[in-house]
Structure 1
Amino acid sequence: MASAASTSTSATTSASATARASGPTPTPLTLKPGTAWSDAWQRCLTTAPEAFQDDDRVLNLWNGAWRPDGHALPATSPVDGSPIAGPPRLDAATAHQAVRASLDEHRAWRHIPLPERRARVAATLDALTEHRELLALLLVWEIGKPWRLAQADVDRAIDGVRWYVDGIAPMLEGRAPLDGPVSNIASWNYPMSVLVHAMLVQALAGNAVIAKTPTDGGLACLTLASALAAREGIPITLLSGSGSELSDPLVRAPEIGCVSFVGGRDTGARIATAMADLGKRHILEQEGLNTWGIWNYTDWPALTAVVPKLFDYGKQRCTAYPRFVVQRDLFAEFLAAYLPAVRSLRIGHPLAVKRPGDPLPTLDFGPLINAAKAKELADQVAEAIDRGAVPLHRGTLADGRFLPGQDTAAYLPPVTLLNPPPSSPLHHAEPFGPVDTIVLVDTEAELLAAMNASNGALVATLSTDDAATYARLAPQIRAFKTGHGVPRSRGDRDELFGGFGASWRGAFVGGALLVKAVTQGPPTERPPGNFPDHHLMP
């Protein structure tokens, strides 16, 4: 029998060996100093006190003034579930007053000479540039964007509108503003590079603009951007409210000259019906199941390199690719290229660092827009597996970067499913989250049928080694933009953007056509787009 001393020594030696094997205890992550929501809020109060109040209240902007009207709802950050500023929701009657006041602003603004409009928009861009980091920080807290992507959203808005400021004159030759303001209803995922970008171009073209703050996030960021624009005399109306209350004033009100919508198909279809009845300009971007096809393909390193980029912002993008359609004979090679890329994805708290002086982390994505969305997708994944889908990859939050004890209810690690059943929403609809599905096919006809599963899409890609095969198959894919082995994106300058089928209604945009969509030309002009055959747009 060993002595007590020898037993103690053995235990100590064993513990030391275990410590050496497991390595030092990891340093717990901490919030980067100066990036807390309270820090961002105080900076908002200092930067735009006219639009923010000390009691954590954000104001609505209409008839040229910031107003403490509306019923403020509570809100939480998807990053960690902590309280943030909630939307001050208006009722329909007040929103109608705001729309009528916007028409008065529109009638005055449309006569402002173009050089002055350009100067005011350029000054707004300078102010947005000055407060770039604050706008990005608000995007992190309000919609969960990683720091890199939040900055990119702000930069794309600024750089994109500058391009129009510099080149707007020839785009407006022979054209006039619309008869009423442009109403903007957009989803929460790109408040700056989609919504603010559109609003400033619409104003540059001579229109007053109205925007509804998205229900799920982006309120403070949009409010700050609108405050900076309003200071320069840009005629902006910014309203919060439920879709049921604001749909009538922001869509059907006779004062509205055009409706620009980004969102789901159900709401978009209702707006499209209203626009056809009313004969109004409309730009309606809706979701579609964007697909990536693999057929007679061998450049697997290129696929491995691109897969992580496809998960930017957790695939909460209208141009994300959640569906791979793969030639059955290539499935093994596809998995060998795809799975290492998915396993390399970095997720976690966008503002968590090891030491206060460390830079903010470079992540592929953080949380989804809210805990309810994360649960909805997790439930859909579980249901699909119960009905026969094969889980090829299921990530875990244990590998993420999180603060000690942090609420992670809005986070969903990446998931990949083979052959989701036809009864599952994941078979035919866009998940709008980090869930990939794979469908195997044996013939070109099956490839095209699987790539066209959702009655139209915004983008698609076909990876094939043979250029002739791509040229033959690509026109049969019902997506507005199709890439040959490369992802396609929205784009704002050099090419059209639109969609096929139920993914888009109304005017196409991009470059000069974004201006054309919100201005009037010859009386019989019909802007390029998906319009009812019986109706010529004014």
Structure 2
Amino acid sequence: MAHVTTGSAEAPALDPALIERLTRRVAGSATGRTVTTTAPFTGAPLAELPASTSDDVGAAFARAREAQRAWAARSVRERAAPFLRFHDLVLDRQSEILDIIQWETGKARRHAFEEVYDAAAGTLYYARNAARLLRPTRSPGAMPVATRTYVRRRPKGTVSVITPWNYPLALPVGDAVPALIAGNAVVAKPDTQTSLTALWAIDLAIEAGLPEDLWNPVIGEPAEVGDPMVDEADHVAFTGSSAAGAGIARRASERLIGCSAELGGKNPMVVCEDAAVDWTVEGAIRACFSNAGQLCISMERLYVHDRIHDEFVSRFTDAVRNMALNARFDFSADMGSLTYQRQLDRVSAHVDDARDNGATVLTGGQPRPDLGPLFYEPTVMTDVGPTMAACSDETFGPVVSVYRYSDEDEVIERCNDTEYGLNASVWTRDVSRGRRIAERIDAGTVNINEGYGAAWASYGAPMGGTKRSGLGRRHGAEGLLRFTESQSIASQHYVGLGGTPGMSGETLARTLTLGGRLMKRFRIR
């Protein structure tokens, strides 16, 4: 049984005035319909929110399009300025948003702080670098000297940002900020359960100087507002399950609009025979159990070399067994609660199925209703076979399966034997070797001697998935340029492409042929 911290930190009540102020920004339904969220820590009602309709979505897009025209006319530096202030405000107001995140998600405060840091640091990267990334670039012209060509970036228009409940601050901010700095407007649909967190971010951005109506929220279930969020948009940025992402991509393709999507993962972690055991155990705890495993880039498959398998598994299991679980609003917990009942059901089903079919549960494996309605122990299993759901299906909870391996080629093949390709992790004292292994793994990001944070927080590098783990990339230049259309502008000087006046077609062809040969020879082309 995982260790439980005794005592409790007084739960800070959410200010009703704050909730009222935030919900006024929602494109509310004329019908007056509302939806009530519940607190994962307690199961008690948390907040009553307005429920948007498909008509409300259309109205939100109309306001956004109107505001976007003036916004796009501003310089990149002018558009970035509010987000430099937003960075500071996020850090200054972190206690307030940490409370909201914990109330809505049930996660431990240390994992809520990861979101605060990410929202601030990711925003700062784009606010500092967008002018350089969006600057017009020269391109070789059709004819040297005579043709001058450059490429500029234009905003898409109005972007749909659809985000899930597991990282309700980091994910909406991470997509909306680059879209806005690129000159777009945004209509955002956060998950209903965690809408207050996203509304807080929007409210803070407006306080920082973002004009009204550029970042408009709607709240509603996919059956009601999902299709309009795609049908009204000029680009869709989605984070969620692979199945939902595929559906959104199909609908977007029918309208010939862009879609970027970060989707599911069944991420492998490779522990080489020369790994530093203590460091690797500490890293594996974070890699597997941050946010109670409700993280698309967390590790669910752990491959350990024969030579250190027994030692590592023993130390890792002991460390997991001693993790602190609680519902405190301080930094004492190593892990918090799951967010939804459906996640608890899925985690329980995966563990029970594995146990019933011969897997060994080394630690954990039980819900903890004594701590709260949605707590589940961090769980380590071995002997997980290929027919078990926990082997190949994304669990999205605090469960990791440990496997033994002896050969490098074998473990790389096992890492790649999945329909997913989002993130991976390699642990070794020989970083050069780690990079060689990383380059053979089919994943959008690979971390060496870290689970996910090194690649994720390298904001200048792209992050995303291969195979069924996603389309496109967030972070880096790609994370900004996906919200733009390229426009090539070429001007002709001195001589026309049709040759000089009176030149015959045959002479023009000979001249261009000779020119092409000379440009190749002298490496002009």
> Which position in structure 1 is the counterpart of 2:54?
92
Where structure 1 has 5 or more consecutive residues not aligned to the other structure, the ranges are 1-25, 52-57, 352-359, 399-404, 525-538
Alignment pair present for 1:247 and 2:226: yes
Alignment pair present for 1:41 and 2:24: no
1:40 is aligned with what amino acid?
A: L
Deviates more, 1:233-242 or 1:491-500: 491-500
Q: Tell me the distance in 2 between the aligned counterparts of 1:444 and 1:185.
A: 39
| Shift in Å, 1:95 | 1.7
State whether residues 86 and 204 of structure 2, in contact with CA within 8 Å, keep that contact through their aligned partners in structure 1.
Answer: yes
Q: Tell me the distance in 2 between the aligned counterparts of 1:80 and 1:166.
A: 41
> Which position in structure 2 is the counterpart of 1:485?
449
Aligned 1:21-32 pairs, distance under 5 A: 29-32=7-10
Query: Structure 2 vs 1, CA of residues 68 and 124 (structure 1 numbering), >3 Å: closer, same or farther?
Result: farther
> Which position in structure 1 is the counterpart of 2:338?
368
> Which position in structure 2 is the counterpart of 1:218?
194
Compute the TM-score of the two structures, normalised by the length of structure 2.
0.81
Query: Structure 2 vs 1, CA of residues 447 and 146 (structure 1 numbering), >3 Å: closer, same or farther?
Result: same
> Which position in structure 2 is the counterpart of 1:413?
377
| Shift in Å, 1:429 | 1.9
State whether residues 59 and 69 of structure 1, in contact with CA within 8 Å, keep that contact through their aligned partners in structure 2.
Answer: no
Q: Tell me the distance in 2 between the aligned counterparts of 1:86 and 1:406.
A: 27
> Which position in structure 1 is the counterpart of 2:474?
509
RMSD: 2.7
State whether residues 343 and 396 of structure 2, in contact with CA within 8 Å, keep that contact through their aligned partners in structure 1.
Answer: no
Query: Structure 2 vs 1, CA of residues 408 and 279 (structure 1 numbering), >3 Å: closer, same or farther?
Result: same
> Which position in structure 1 is the counterpart of 2:123?
161
Where structure 2 has 5 or more consecutive residues not aligned to the other structure, the ranges are 137-151, 490-525
User: What's the CA shift string for 1:203-224, capped at 9, x where partnerless?
Assistant: 1221101110214x32112112
State whether residues 397 and 413 of structure 1, in contact with CA within 8 Å, keep that contact through their aligned partners in structure 2.
Answer: yes
2:198 is aligned with what amino acid?
A: L
State whether residues 314 and 364 of structure 1, in contact with CA within 8 Å, keep that contact through their aligned partners in structure 2.
Answer: no
> Which position in structure 2 is the counterpart of 1:82?
44
2:221 is aligned with what amino acid?
A: S
1:42 is aligned with what amino acid?
A: P
Aligned 1:281-296 pairs, distance under 5 A: 281-296=258-273
Aligned 1:74-153 pairs, distance under 5 A: 74-153=36-115
| Shift in Å, 1:469 | 5.1
Query: Structure 2 vs 1, CA of residues 86 and 43 (structure 1 numbering), >3 Å: closer, same or farther?
Result: closer
Aligned 1:195-206 pairs, distance under 5 A: 195-206=172-183
Query: Structure 2 vs 1, CA of residues 266 and 471 (structure 1 numbering), >3 Å: closer, same or farther?
Result: same
User: What's the CA shift string for 1:110-166, capped at 9, x where partnerless?
Assistant: 123434323333344444444321111100100112223223312321232123223
Instruction: Look up the SS of the partner of 2:247 in the other structure.
Output: helix
1:323 is aligned with what amino acid?
A: R
| Shift in Å, 1:67 | 6.9
Q: 1:429 aligns with which of 366, 370, 393?
A: 393
Q: Tell me the distance in 1 between the aligned counterparts of 2:217 and 2:5.
A: 44
Deviates more, 1:108-117 or 1:234-243: 108-117
Query: Structure 2 vs 1, CA of residues 271 and 523 (structure 1 numbering), >3 Å: closer, same or farther?
Result: farther
> Which position in structure 2 is the counterpart of 1:262?
239
> Which position in structure 1 is the counterpart of 2:356?
386
State whether residues 67 and 185 of structure 2, in contact with CA within 8 Å, keep that contact through their aligned partners in structure 1.
Answer: yes
Give the total of aligned pairs. 465
1:366 is aligned with what amino acid?
A: G
> Which position in structure 1 is the counterpart of 2:304?
326
Q: Tell me the distance in 2 between the aligned counterparts of 1:31 and 1:316.
A: 24
State whether residues 350 and 363 of structure 1, in contact with CA within 8 Å, keep that contact through their aligned partners in structure 2.
Answer: yes
Aligned 1:62-77 pairs, distance under 5 A: 62=27, 71-77=33-39
> Which position in structure 2 is the counterpart of 1:521?
486
State whether residues 60 and 240 of structure 1, in contact with CA within 8 Å, keep that contact through their aligned partners in structure 2.
Answer: no
Q: Tell me the distance in 1 between the aligned counterparts of 2:5 and 2:374.
A: 24
Instruction: Look up the SS of the partner of 1:116 in the other structure.
Output: helix
State whether residues 60 and 68 of structure 1, in contact with CA within 8 Å, keep that contact through their aligned partners in structure 2.
Answer: no
Instruction: Look up the SS of the partner of 1:148 in the other structure.
Output: helix
> Which position in structure 1 is the counterpart of 2:145?
none
State whether residues 239 and 262 of structure 2, in contact with CA within 8 Å, keep that contact through their aligned partners in structure 1.
Answer: yes
Instruction: Look up the SS of the partner of 2:419 in the other structure.
Output: coil
Instruction: Look up the SS of the partner of 1:191 in the other structure.
Output: coil
Deviates more, 1:466-475 or 1:275-284: 466-475
Q: Tell me the distance in 2 between the aligned counterparts of 1:27 and 1:366.
A: 11
Percent identity, please: 23
Q: 1:189 aligns with which of 151, 156, 166?
A: 166
User: What's the CA shift string for 1:403-450, capped at 9, x where partnerless?
Assistant: xx9662200011111132323221112211110112233444431232
State whether residues 491 and 497 of structure 1, in contact with CA within 8 Å, keep that contact through their aligned partners in structure 2.
Answer: no
User: What's the CA shift string for 1:244-272, capped at 9, x where partnerless?
Assistant: 2222211133xx22111111000011122
Q: Tell me the distance in 2 between the aligned counterparts of 1:337 and 1:131.
A: 38
State whether residues 429 and 454 of structure 1, in contact with CA within 8 Å, keep that contact through their aligned partners in structure 2.
Answer: no
Query: Structure 2 vs 1, CA of residues 159 and 475 (structure 1 numbering), >3 Å: closer, same or farther?
Result: closer
Aligned 1:303-342 pairs, distance under 5 A: 303-310=280-287, 311-328=289-306, 330-342=308-320
Compute the TM-score of the two structures, normalised by the length of structure 1.
0.79
Q: Tell me the distance in 1 between the aligned counterparts of 2:470 and 2:29.
A: 35
Q: Tell me the distance in 2 between the aligned counterparts of 1:67 and 1:177.
A: 33
Q: Tell me the distance in 2 between the aligned counterparts of 1:474 and 1:179.
A: 34
2:413 is aligned with what amino acid?
A: A
Q: Tell me the distance in 1 between the aligned counterparts of 2:309 and 2:280.
A: 13
User: What's the CA shift string for 1:212-245, capped at 9, x where partnerless?
Assistant: 0214x32112112212323531511100111122
Q: Tell me the distance in 1 between the aligned counterparts of 2:183 and 2:33.
A: 32
Query: Structure 2 vs 1, CA of residues 472 and 148 (structure 1 numbering), >3 Å: closer, same or farther?
Result: closer
